[in-house]
Structure 1
Amino acid sequence: MAKELKDLTKRSDDYSKWYNELVVKADLAEQSAVRGCMVIKPYGYAIWEKMQQTLDKMFKETGVQNAYFPLLIPKSFLCREAEHVEGFAKECAVVTHYRLKNDPNGNGVIVDPDARLEEELIVRPTSETIIWGTYKNWIHSYRDLPVLCNQWANVMRWEMRTRMFLRTAEFLWQEGHCAHATAEESEARTVQMINLYADFAERYMAMPVIKGVKSPNERFAGALNTYTIEAMMQDGKALQSGTSHNLGQNFAKAFDVTFVNKDNKPEYVWANSWGVSTRLMGALIMTHSDDNGLVLPPHLAPIQVVIVPIYKNAEQLVEVSRAVEPIVSALRDLGISVKYDDADNRRPGFKFADYELKGVPVRLAIGARDIENGTVEVMRRDTLEKQVEPIAGIAERVQSLLEEIQENIYQKALKHREEMTRTVDTYEEFKAEIEKGGFILAHWDGTPETEDKIKEETKATIRCIPLDGDKTPGVCMVTGKPSAQRVIFARNY
């Protein structure tokens, strides 16, 4: 058993510590020399790459194209949309000078006071302003619409309390920014993208999500409406896992982006933006992993199958390697990523524990005796069950097993969410239930004042107003005023 695995804190002892340790021990990321920023290590980045590649393909199937916009945004751009700048003002990193010089006192380098910028530049917290400043040059007629752009980039939000993947000062994401000729087209795209995110979360991440609309208090700064997918982590806390914003004509008006419509009249463009980030890595870890380490869904695992040879000497290794070669070829022919770990600097037991810690979905172990018997030991990471299987046809059985694991961990997460979702009618009942964690369905009168009171007194927020489910009206649990439908409350990351 690897020392790293034995030292992993149990979830039941300290869930937060378990998460932080697992990120490091599973070689996903580590803290950097810059406070609040992390280094994503190769194994962690390989998972993000699979997410990125899958989402990128899904975006492009809807007509979206990738572009890239500057990291630095003129301060004046952020001033043009008042609500937007207010939402991000406290998180912005500001560039004020463009040059350093040697300290005349010999203390290294200092900022050159003569190199102050005429206008400060903001390290992008999000790109609406720089993009809409650019779209003004691209859009003149209805024939130029729609513009369907996405960029894969990094952003900076000066977070004081950070946690790797979940909340860091710098993080990776994608941000889509679309321009349309009509309000209906823009709304349709906004909804289309939240549906796409939900599909990705459930089909690839094996993570059940609830689609809904954010309350005005929780809405993206400068948006008319924000759609969200909300997931429940194993500790009962909610995690916002993707958002899509209907921006109306706010940014078009702020940056004077107009087009001549089919009636030859000028009109402001309609906009939306949508994004997910490396926060999804945190969601993946906390949705499925256990006290033995990561549990990765096969659809996103960088290594779907690892094969570990069992041997006593070099001759046996040659024999085992010869038997493994056609298995590796057959798996790769089926599009399965496989690693044959014949490194001689680690014992099989260490390898078993290491790949278990890293969440590799299927492990095959094969030795000289297995070759004689025509068998191979198969272990599935989700249940840790082992089974001896015939070598003949093993690739097809592993392919089937990977799909079984994908479905099993989704169903396990779904069952957990269902068990941790309750309905309450009174505020006293709500206060008691929210302490147990999970999603609470309750009526709310629709006012920010009531929402603020609940947050202040219970630390719970409205995660979303669900798009699906019970739309039965009732009365607010706090004020007794009319409520259109139940909303989802939870404490969140």
Structure 2
Amino acid sequence: MAKNLTSREQDYSKWYNELVIQADLAENSGVRGCMVIKPYGYAIWERMQAELDRMFKETGHQNAYFPLFIPKSYFSKEASHVDGFAKECAVVTHYRLKNDEDGNGIVVDPEAKLEEELIVRPTSETIIWDTYRKWVQSYRDLPILVNQWANVVRWEMRTRLFLRTAEFLWQEGHTAHATKSEAIAEAEQMMNVYADFAENYMAVPVVKGLKSESERFAGALETYCIEALMQDGKALQAGTSHFLGQNFAKAFDVKFADKDGKLEHVWATSWGVSTRLMGALIMTHSDDNGLVLPPNLAPDQVVIVPIYRNEEQFEAVSGVATDLLKQLRAKNIRVKFDDRDTHKPGWKFNEYELKGVPLRIAIGPKDVEKGTVELARRDTLEKSFVSQEKVATQVEGLLDEIQNNLFKKAVDFREANTHSVDSYEEFKKVLKAKGGFILAHWDGTAETEERIKNETKATIRCLPLSENEGAGSCMVTGKPSERRVLFAKAY
């Protein structure tokens, strides 16, 4: 393996880019700003999808699919929504190509202009709410609890693999409700589902909160979010859930007859997470040796590497490995036996360390004689010898231990890098020296928020929902502040 990674301390951004490429997660494509997600990267995304999809279905949601193309006129129906996405939209204007008569290859056929341009979906509220109008007549048709797994396009100028690409994969939930309180409860529930997933599967601690008005989703009355802290002291928005009020129902005339026969507009939510979660996973846990994956999401939780010099030794080692495979798979542990004869054991050790496999088992001729195997943990790089009879039980316990250790390590890092400040000078000083999360009082105005952003590049990540110390004075203006809010520089 290549694996001479730039260290995080030397250049965090370069380390990240090199790691994504070398760990075989993704690569840049022939289309500017778009990526190819490679099989190993996609296997991790599939694990994320599977767990999230199960959680969505357990909360009563169903999957559906809506068109990739959205008529331009749909976007003009909800003013704040179109304002939020206008600069990022890819537009389809023609439907046919032809050979150039002058012999210059393929050209767009000018005769094939669409009557109405189509927008390549940046998000699906408009096409979905146009559809819901046909689905909803009575209170008996509600709630609609629908999710779709899809790709979206937002024309980004400055891109980075997984974190910000012109096309990315995601899920987007879109629900319709009879009452305001039901819709708010739905938006809050989905924020909690995301937080549960981030903490218990990704081992990434998050802060749950509300976005400030200027940071809300375009067309939302309230945006709930989860914010995570990366190892370089920058925040990453890991998921959002939006209470949309009746804005889209009114824009697309989605009404229902209530129990008294009175017509009312429905109440709406939307919520989503994307392949950006891959970036969060990489940047929270990985080290200068490569990727570090939490066992709950690792495609291979355990890899068995045989060590041998001849066919006879290989047969003996393979016998032990085959037995271990059966034992571990019986416990639903995802395990791989790497019996390739094209690479030496040392090369394989390096590969699996780079790819972040949580546990490595090495078996050589001496282990066959002694009835032992060597276990190596990816999180701590510790090695130990275990008797073959105890491997299955030991591995099960170690995987839990690694999962918990990664979460604790990330929590400890976040706590060590969360600071409370009272003055703007202190805020700027801490931000420059340490970065991280900064809790400070803000007067609630967009003007002060914009000034802080322009002068420091830090933004309000959220108004945390957790307990806070209460009122104080804005660090910038000295005006009254109801509570501390969470600031950080962010991806």
Bin the TM-score by the shorter chain: over 0.9
Match of 1:454 in 2: 452
Determine whether 1:72 maps to 2:54: no
Q: 1:231 aligns with which of 207, 228, 231?
A: 228
Partner of residue 485, structure 2: 487
List per-residue Cα deviations over 1:97-151 (Å, max 9, x = no partner): 0000110011111000000000000000000000000000000000000000000
2:164 counterpart residue number: 167
Counterpart mapping for 1:191-340 below 5 A:
191-340=188-337
- SS of 2:189 mapped into structure 1: helix
1:218 is displaced (CA, Å) by 0.4
Answer yes or no: is 1:439 the counterpart of 2:437: yes
Paired residue type of 1:370: D
SS state at 2:404 partner: helix
Q: Secondary structure at the match of 2:145?
A: strand
1:464 is matched with 462
Once residues 84 and 155 of structure 2 are traced to their aligned partners in structure 1, the CA distance between those partners, rounded to angstroms, is: 13
Tell me which residue corresponds to 1:131.
128
SS in 2 for 1:227: strand
One-letter identity of the residue aligned with 1:73: I
Contact 1:471 1:484 in 2 (8 A): no
* Structure 1 residue corresponding to 2:45, chosen from 48, 70, 74: 48
State the match for 1:418 in structure 2: 415
Deviation at 1:469, TM superposition (A): 2.5
- In 1, distance between residues paired with 2:390 and 2:133? 59
Q: State how many pairs are aligned.
A: 490
Cα displacement (A) at 1:471? 4.2
- 1:446–1:483 Cα contact (<8 Å) kept: yes
Q: Counterpart in 1 of 2:94?
A: 97
* SS of residue matched to 1:208: coil
Which ranges of structure 1 fall in alignment gaps of 5 or more residues? none
Q: Give distance in 2, aligned partners of 1:323 and 1:21.
A: 36
CA shift, 1:396, in A, is: 1.2
Per-residue CA distance 1:149-171 (angstroms, 9 max, x = gap):
00000000000000000000000
- What is the identity, as a one-letter code, of the residue corresponding to 1:445? D
CA distance in 1 between partners of 2:472 and 2:259 (Å): 45
Using a 3 Å threshold, how does the CA distance of structure 1 residues 469 and 136 change in structure 2: closer, same or farther?
A: same
Between the two proteins, what is the percent identity of the paired residues?
70
Q: Which one of the candidate residues 471, 475, 478 is aligned to 2:476? A: 478
Query: One-letter code of the match for 2:295?
Result: P
Deviation of 1:325 after TM superposition, in Å, equals 1.0
2:144 matched residue in structure 1? 147
| 1:350 to 2:347 alignment | yes
Q: Distance in 2 between matches of 1:314 and 1:273?
A: 59
Q: TM-score, normalised by structure 1?
A: 0.99
- Runs of 4+ in structure 1 over 2 Å off: none
Tell me how far 1:270 sits from its aligned partner. 0.1
Letter matched to residue 390 of structure 1? S
Q: Which amino acid aligns with 1:337?
A: R
Does the residue aligned with 1:148 lie in a helix, a strand or coil?
strand
Q: What amino acid does structure 2 have at the position aligned with 1:261?
A: D
Picking from 359, 376, 379, the partner of 1:379 is 376
Question: Secondary structure of 2:289's partner?
Answer: coil
Aligned equivalent of 2:84:
87
TM-score (norm 2): 0.99
Match of 1:187 in 2: 184
Amino acid paired to 1:230:
E
Give the aligned partner of residue 158 of structure 1.
155
Structure 2 distance, partners of 1:273, 1:471, is 31
462-471 vs 357-366, greater mean Cα deviation: 462-471
Tell me how far apart the structure 2 counterparts of residues 263 and 184 of structure 1 sit (CA, whole Å): 19
The aligned amino acid for 2:463 is I
Shift of 1:393: 2.0
One-letter amino acid matched to 1:233: M
**What's the offset of the Cα at 1:263?**
1.3
Distance 1:411 1:259 in 2: 48
